[in-house]
């Protein structure tokens, strides 16, 4: 099971309007795992954008957070302050908006806006990584001392020392490699242009850029011993200047071809393992060993393992085991305490002083249950104190607030009535009362504690079969990453190159010229692509895409989706993708949540939702889009989504569903579980429900897909047979 990046629990959000309270999101829960894409699908007004805005902390001023949690990295995003949120927003959780115009600064050049994010992020990351590294080293040191390892300080210093060296080597290598591959691409393009006689300004800039890139491409591991050849080629290109005709370009072409030869070999070289090499350089010998890269990697790897890593890991594992045992002890104690204090909160009429005392003790006990050696933060335990404080405050503060609200309402109504009594029509309406539900608040206090107890029990059970070696490895990797990041300094030159590459990636022609332009010089589609590029430069943990490609055409859309998918794979990014284009969802999503009228009506993996849809609303959505083989009339969804000031009592979709059951109008269906990962909220899944067929459009489409798949399978088999036969004959 991959690590949970984000947990949304029982989220409820409404908006205060003059007509009443609009319930935009009603009790939704979902998890986002590391490295997956979760697509949220639904019509406009279904609450999908509100959900994403709640995660970003940018809800409108009239929003009311009715309850629920959004847990991320040891924080509850529903309850942290604006200052804390600024650490998260944009940096950790980035968002691509639907409307690109409002997201760009009109008086800054595009290039500056792109690199600014990268440079700032890099600076922040260095600082953060340094702090993380220090904290982890200190925690490890403390735990090691407790298990009787006294020379921990020495080991950690060593680790840090070559960790920094590794970062330096890595930076140098990457910069040279990036430049080499860029120079190669430019040289190839230029030769192509010369061949096709396109001797224009673009060719000239390409050649100039090639000279720049090629002269930065030299590194021990990239161009290696052919540096002089590359230098010669670059000098020849430089000497030729800007020839006017084809004959003038002949020497340039020859030089470029030579450079291509060198660079092709350069980028094909194996990547050195800079981490182990750094160890070798710092602790064994102070010069790079002269041997093939693969051999060198193996040698330095062995040296590192034998000389340091094995021993270090053994020691660290001891500390990890000890730390885990200690935390488990604390957890058991905490469970006992929480259970004993629970009745105080569960009383019919809890006493304020008694509760406050109990809560204080509980908080102290829970805080002890945090393992200092955890890499993934235990969000629920981290947020226990804010959660319980919030719940207690809501209940005890609720009396006063309700009283105030009632008074205001009475006063306001009296005023309103007075005006009407005078025979006038007032131009304002009485804002309805929004009262705290005291009963629910009281139950919520106890529930917070119960949830924590259950969480601890779950952790204790999980720890019984914990793999400490794997955990130690996780810590070593974490340290490696943090040391690397704490020393990695992004220069503005590299940032520029990376930004240009990214601009190319999102399909902007001639990025070097565009780099210096202002936002108003770009068309709408181009601006959208820039905004996407900016969001990606921040290298976030979680990327929220709110209909990013709706305004773009298919080719660019495909290009951008590919880019997001590649980044996701590369950086293990978690993506929340909001859209109503089911084709895009099929392409991007690992899992899908279908939202309607503020609720998740169906939730499952992409294949489950597309091939075995269970909710009538999902059917309706699927049936309303044509695919390439659709011939029959499309089935549109009649009517409009319900008014969310008065949300329907039963299934919200019943009004627009021709085949709705009677119970759909009376009772809200619960989430029925279909498989381990597939859930749907519809009464059709109840054992007593009548059997309803999916719309014909979908069944036919699924059959077509099935038939095509089988045909392909047969073809593949036939092809395999052919090749096998051919091999036999050989």
Partner 1 sequence: MSEKTNEPILRVEHLCMYFGKGEGLKKAVDDVSFDIQKGEVFGLVGESGCGKTTTGRTMIRLYDATSGNVYFKGKRIVAGTLSYKNEIKELKDKIAGKAKNGDQVIKLSESEIQEANKRIAELRQMIKDAKHDHKDARKNGNVTQIQMIYQDPVASLDPRMTVKEIIAEGLRIQGVKDKEYIDQKVYEMLRTVGLVEEHATRYPHEFSGGQRQRIGIARSIIMNPEVIIADEPISALDVSIRAQVINLLNELRETMGLTILFIAHDLSVVKYFSDRIGVMYFGNMVEMATSDELFAHPLHPYTRSLLSAIPLPDPESEKGRVRIRYNPLTDHEYSTETPEFREIVPGHFVRCTSKEFEKYKAEYDK
**What Rg, from alpha-carbon coordinates, does the chain have?**
31
Q: Which of 449, 479, 533, 582 binds partner 1 (CB under 8 A)?
A: 582
User: 64: which strand partners?
Assistant: 14
**Smallest distance from partner 1 to CB 187, Å:** 15
Confirm or reject binding of residue 523 to partner 1 (CB under 8 A): yes
Q: Which of 369, 561, 563, 597 binds partner 1 (CB under 8 A)?
A: 561
Q: Which residue has the tokens 């390892």?
A: 149
Q: Which of 610, 619, 672, 679 binds partner 1 (CB under 8 A)?
A: 610
Q: How many helices (H) and strands (E) does the chain have?
A: 24, 12
Query: For partner 1, which stretch binds (CB under 8 A), given 7-15, 94-102, 360-368, 630-638?
Result: 630-638
Closer of 379 and 587 to partner 1 (Cβ): 587
Confirm or reject binding of residue 368 to partner 1 (CB under 8 A): no
CB 93 within 8 A of CB 542: yes
Q: Which residue has the tokens 């070798």?
A: 280
**Smallest distance from partner 1 to CB 375, Å:** 30
Biggest alpha carbon distance in the chain? Answer: 105
Q: Return d(Cα 18, Cα 50) in angstroms, integer.
A: 19
Residue 111 token pair: 């290039």
Q: Return d(Cα 589, Cα 586) in angstroms, integer.
A: 6
Consecutive H or E run containing 543:
strand 542-546
**Smallest distance from partner 1 to CB 213, Å:** 20
**Smallest distance from partner 1 to CB 280, Å:** 42
- For 657: left if phi > 0, alpha if psi spans -120 to 50, otherwise beta; the answer is beta
Confirm or reject binding of residue 99 to partner 1 (CB under 8 A): no
Closer of 483 and 587 to partner 1 (Cβ): 587
CB 624 within 8 A of CB 72: no
**Smallest distance from partner 1 to CB 694, Å:** 14
Query: For partner 1, which stretch binds (CB under 8 A), given 269-277, 371-379, 382-390, 606-614?
Result: 606-614
Closer of 93 and 561 to partner 1 (Cβ): 561
**Smallest distance from partner 1 to CB 16, Å:** 22
**Smallest distance from partner 1 to CB 107, Å:** 24
Q: What is the DSSP string of 124-180?
A: HHHHHHHHHHHHHHHHHHHHHHHTT--THHHHHHHHHHHHHHHHHHHHHHHHHHHHH
Based on the number of CB atoms within 10 Å of its own CB, is 423 exposed (0-12), middle (13-18) or buried (19 or more)? exposed
**Smallest distance from partner 1 to CB 58, Å:** 23
**Smallest distance from partner 1 to CB 698, Å:** 9
Q: Which of 153, 492, 640, 716 binds partner 1 (CB under 8 A)?
A: 640
Q: Which residue has the tokens 């309803």?
A: 692
Q: What is the DSSP string of 600-641?
A: EEEEEEHHHHHHS--SHHHHHHHHTS--TT--SPP-PPPS-P
Q: Which of 84, 356, 627, 662 binds partner 1 (CB under 8 A)?
A: 627
Q: Return d(Cα 158, Cα 646) in angstroms, integer.
A: 65
Confirm or reject binding of residue 517 to partner 1 (CB under 8 A): no
Closer of 381 and 587 to partner 1 (Cβ): 587
Q: Return d(Cα 698, Cα 252) in angstroms, integer.
A: 59
Q: Which of 252, 475, 531, 622 binds partner 1 (CB under 8 A)?
A: 622
Query: For partner 1, which stretch binds (CB under 8 A), given 24-32, 485-493, 532-540, 628-636?
Result: 628-636
**Smallest distance from partner 1 to CB 709, Å:** 7
Closer of 471 and 701 to partner 1 (Cβ): 701
Q: Return d(Cα 557, Cα 560) in angstroms, integer.
A: 5
Confirm or reject binding of residue 530 to partner 1 (CB under 8 A): no
Number of residues that bind partner 1 (CB under 8 A): 53
Q: Return d(Cα 473, Cα 317) in angstroms, integer.
A: 9
Closer of 169 and 186 to partner 1 (Cβ): 186
User: 579: which strand partners?
Assistant: 41
Confirm or reject binding of residue 4 to partner 1 (CB under 8 A): no
Confirm or reject binding of residue 315 to partner 1 (CB under 8 A): no
Tell me which DSSP letter residue 305 carries: I
Residue 627 token pair: 């695919």
Residues from 29 through 58 that contact partner 1 (CB under 8 A)? 43-44
Closer of 399 and 611 to partner 1 (Cβ): 611
Closer of 446 and 606 to partner 1 (Cβ): 606
Beta strand 75-76 pairing with 599-605: unpaired
Neighbours of 269 (CB within 10 A): 15
**Binding track over 169-208 against partner 1, x by CB under 8 A:** -----------------------xx--xxx----------
Query: For partner 1, which stretch binds (CB under 8 A), given 209-217, 237-245, 389-397, 631-639?
Result: 631-639
Closer of 403 and 562 to partner 1 (Cβ): 562
Q: How far is CA 518 from the centre of its chain?
A: 29
Confirm or reject binding of residue 566 to partner 1 (CB under 8 A): no
Residue 137 token pair: 């080293």
Can you list the pairs that 458-461 forms with residues at least 24 positions away whose Cβ atoms lie under 8 Å?
A: 459/331, 459/378, 460/328, 460/331, 460/332
Q: Which of 434, 463, 607, 668 binds partner 1 (CB under 8 A)?
A: 607
**Smallest distance from partner 1 to CB 626, Å:** 4
Query: For partner 1, which stretch binds (CB under 8 A), given 60-68, 325-333, 460-468, 585-593?
Result: 585-593
> Please, what is the angle between helix 524-537 and helix 492-505, to 10°?
130
Q: Which residues bind partner 1 (CB under 8 A)?
A: 43-44, 192-193, 196-198, 523, 525, 551-559, 561-562, 580-587, 589, 606-607, 610-611, 620-622, 624-628, 630-631, 633-637, 640, 701, 705, 708-709
């Amino acid at each position: 099971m991959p690590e949970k990046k984000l947990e949304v629990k029982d989220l409820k959000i409404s908006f205060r309007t003059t007509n009443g309270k609009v319930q935009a999101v009603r009790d939704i829960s979902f998890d986002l795992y590391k490295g997956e894409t979760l697509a949220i699908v639904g019509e406009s007004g279904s609450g999908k954008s509100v959900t994403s805005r709640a995660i970003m902390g940018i809800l409108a001023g009239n929003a009311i957070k009715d309850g629920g949690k959004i847990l991320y990295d040891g924080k509850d995003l529903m309850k942290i302050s604006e200052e804390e949120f600024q650490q998260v927003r944009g940096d950790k959780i980035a968002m691509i908006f639907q409307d690109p115009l409002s997201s760009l600064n009109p008086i800054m050049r595009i290039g500056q806006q792109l690199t600014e994010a990268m440079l700032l992020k890099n600076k922040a990351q260095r600082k953060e990584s340094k702090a993380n590294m220090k904290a982890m080293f200190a925690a490890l040191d403390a735990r090691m001392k407790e298990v009787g390892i006294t020379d921990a300080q020495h080991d950690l210093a060593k680790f840090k020392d070559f960790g920094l060296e590794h970062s330096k080597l890595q930076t140098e290598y990457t910069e040279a490699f990036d430049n080499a591959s860029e120079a190669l691409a430019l040289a190839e393009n230029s030769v192509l242009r010369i061949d096709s006689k396109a001797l224009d300004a673009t060719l000239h800039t390409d050649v100039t850029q090639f000279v720049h890139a090629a002269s930065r491409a030299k590194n021990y591991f990239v161009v290696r011993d052919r540096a002089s050849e590359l230098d010669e080629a670059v000098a020849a290109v430089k000497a030729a200047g800007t020839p006017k005709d084809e004959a003038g370009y002949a020497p340039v072409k020859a030089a470029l071809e030579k450079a291509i030869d060198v660079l092709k070999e350069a980028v094909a070289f194996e990547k050195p393992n800079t981490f182990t090499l750094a160890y070798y350089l710092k602790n064994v010998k102070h010069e790079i060993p002269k041997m093939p890269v693969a051999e060198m990697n193996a040698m330095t790897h062995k040296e590192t393992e034998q000389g340091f890593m094995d021993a270090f890991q053994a020691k660290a594992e001891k500390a990890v085991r000890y730390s885990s045992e200690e935390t488990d002890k604390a957890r058991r104690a905490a469970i006992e305490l929480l259970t004993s204090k629970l009745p105080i909160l569960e009383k019919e009429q809890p006493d304020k002083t008694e509760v406050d005392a109990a809560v204080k003790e509980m908080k102290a006990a829970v805080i002890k249950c945090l393992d200092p050696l955890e890499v993934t933060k235990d969000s629920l335990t981290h947020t226990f104190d804010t959660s319980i404080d919030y719940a207690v405050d809501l209940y005890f503060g609720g009396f006063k607030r309700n009283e105030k609200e009632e008074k205001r309402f009475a006063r306001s109504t009296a005023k309103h009535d007075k005006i009407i009594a005078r025979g006038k029509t007032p131009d304002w309406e009485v804002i309805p009362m929004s009262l705290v539900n005291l009963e629910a608040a009281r139950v919520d206090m106890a529930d917070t504690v119960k949830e924590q107890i259950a969480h601890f029990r779950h952790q204790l059970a999980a720890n019984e079969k914990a793999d400490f070696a794997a955990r130690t490895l996780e810590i070593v990797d974490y340290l490696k990453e943090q040391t690397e990041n704490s020393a990695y300094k992004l220069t503005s030159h590299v940032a520029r190159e990376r930004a240009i590459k990214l601009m190319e990636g999102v399909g902007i022609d001639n990025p070097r010229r565009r780099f210096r332009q202002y936002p108003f010089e770009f068309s709408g589609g181009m601006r959208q692509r820039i905004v996407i590029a900016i969001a990606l430069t921040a290298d976030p943990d979680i990327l929220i895409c709110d209909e990013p490609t709706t305004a773009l055409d298919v080719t660019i859309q495909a290009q951008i989706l590919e880019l997001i998918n590649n980044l996701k794979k590369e950086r293990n990014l978690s993506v929340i993708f909001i859209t109503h284009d089911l084709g895009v969802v099929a392409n991007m999503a690992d899992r899908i949540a279908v939202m309607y009228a503020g609720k998740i009506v169906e939730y499952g993996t992409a294949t489950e939702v597309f091939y075995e849809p269970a909710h009538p609303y999902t059917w309706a959505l699927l049936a309303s889009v044509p695919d390439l083989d659709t011939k029959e009339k499309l089935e549109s969804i009649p009517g409009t989504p319900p008014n969310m000031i008065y949300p329907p009592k039963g299934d919200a979709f019943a009004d627009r569903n021709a085949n709705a059951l009677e119970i759909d109008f009376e009772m809200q269906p619960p989430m029925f579980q279909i498989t381990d990962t597939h859930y749907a909220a519809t009464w059709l899944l109840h054992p007593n429900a009548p059997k309803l067929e999916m719309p014909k459009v979908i069944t036919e489409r699924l059959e077509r897909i099935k038939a095509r798949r089988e045909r392909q399978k047969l073809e593949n088999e036939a092809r395999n047979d052919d090749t096998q036969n051919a091999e036999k004959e050989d």
